[in-house]
Amino acid sequence: MSAPNGARRSKADHPALPITATEIAENAVALRDAGVSILHLHVRDEQDKHTLDVAKYRAALAAIRDRVGDDLIVQVTTEAVGMYTAAQQMGVVSDLKPEAVSLALKEICPTSADERITAEFCTWMRQEKIWPQYILYSVEDVNRFDDLRMRGLFANDAPFALFVLGNYADAVSGQVEDLEALLAATESGAYPWAVCCFGPHEHAVMLAAYGKGGHVRIGFENNLALSGGSLAPDNAALIREFTAAIGERPRRPASVADIRAAFWD
């Protein structure tokens, strides 16, 4: 999976950061050709700020499909960035009906009082064949995710999780040790998981996740540098570095067909 832009970075951070629908679609071609199967999509408003505007999403999705057809699964984000309520986030998914969506557990279901509505939403997504990924930021998130999973809230015995290491807002870099702490907190073999990592240790963390049976999300949303510290020329360069590092090991990057066969009913 690749997250080529995110909600906060700008071209001041990297001139090759894709912002417009056209730029994102061009990135999609390069990412597909580098071996990516899932594109994690953020869109921006006219001031290049984060938005969950459905029309902006539809324009970006159309541009991506025009360039790569069905060769990529596009996962839209519902990230709040302090701007959107859980109801608004769920409303975007309801209006858009994307193939795949990411949902931060602490945003979509912040308290126990929200569990009923969240469970109904998860059941609806399953009925609509929308593939959710639940974003977890801490050991506390992981413990709660496990509890909700075992109680059936996600309408899926093995929901897909994303472990986020570090963060952009506070310039905290993720570490391999952070991944180990999250994995130690959960029966991770009970459900599929992926990891993303803010900061310069992204490559090392991705290799560690690969070795532990996880999936990886790589891209400019989380990190701009190659493993040696030099600025990556584009998102695809980060992907190529990772795939070169895993080489001919038994686990290979999953194709879109592999993923749809494994994760869809």
pLDDT number for residue 252: 84
pLDDT number for residue 186: 85
- Domain edges within the chain: 21-263
pLDDT digits (tens, 9 = 90+) for 120-150: 999 999 999 999 999 999 999 999 999 999 9
User: To 10 degrees, the CA torsion angle through 214, 163, 117, 85?
Assistant: -140
pLDDT number for residue 251: 83
The average pLDDT across 32-61 equals 97
What's the 3-state SS for the chain?
A: CECCCCCCCCCCCCCCCCCCHHHHHHHHHHHHHHCCCEEEECEECCCCCEECCHHHHHHHHHHHHHHHCCCCEEEEECCCCCCCCHHHHHHHHHHHCCCEEEEEHHHHCCCHHHHHHHHHHHHHHHHCCCEEEEEECCHHHHHHHHHHHHCCCCCCCCCEEEEEEEECCCCEECCHHHHHHHHHCCCHHHCCEEEEECCCCHHHHHHHHHHCCCEECECCCCCCECCCCCECCCHHHHHHHHHHHHCCCCCCCCCHHHHHHHHCC
Q: What is the CATH number of domain 21-263?
A: 3.20.20.70
The average pLDDT across 37-46 equals 97
Rounded to whole angstroms, what are the CA distances from 196 to 8, 20, 78, 155? 16, 23, 16, 25
| Token reading at 114 | 């929200």
List b or e across 222-237, with b for residues whose CB sees 16 or more CB atoms inside 10 angstroms.
bbbbbbeeeebebbbb
pLDDT digits (tens, 9 = 90+) for 11-29: 999 999 999 999 999 999 9
pLDDT digits (tens, 9 = 90+) for 55-95: 999 999 999 999 999 999 999 999 999 999 999 999 999 99
Rounded to a whole number of angstroms, the distance between the first and last alpha carbons of the chain is 20
Residue 111 CA to chain centroid, in angstroms? Answer: 23
pLDDT number for residue 24: 98
Phi, psi (5° rounding) for residue 42? Answer: -115, 145
pLDDT digits (tens, 9 = 90+) for 155-185: 999 999 999 999 887 778 999 999 999 999 9
| Token reading at 238 | 């980060």
Determine the Cα angle at 148 with ends 169 and 160, to 5°.
65
pLDDT number for residue 188: 66
pLDDT number for residue 265: 56
Phi-psi region at 81: left, alpha or beta (left = phi > 0; alpha = psi -120 to 50): left
pLDDT number for residue 1: 97
pLDDT digits (tens, 9 = 90+) for 188-247: 689 999 999 999 999 999 999 999 999 999 999 999 999 999 999 999 999 999 999 998
Q: Does residue 116 surpass a pLDDT of 90?
A: yes
pTM equals 0.96
pLDDT number for residue 253: 86
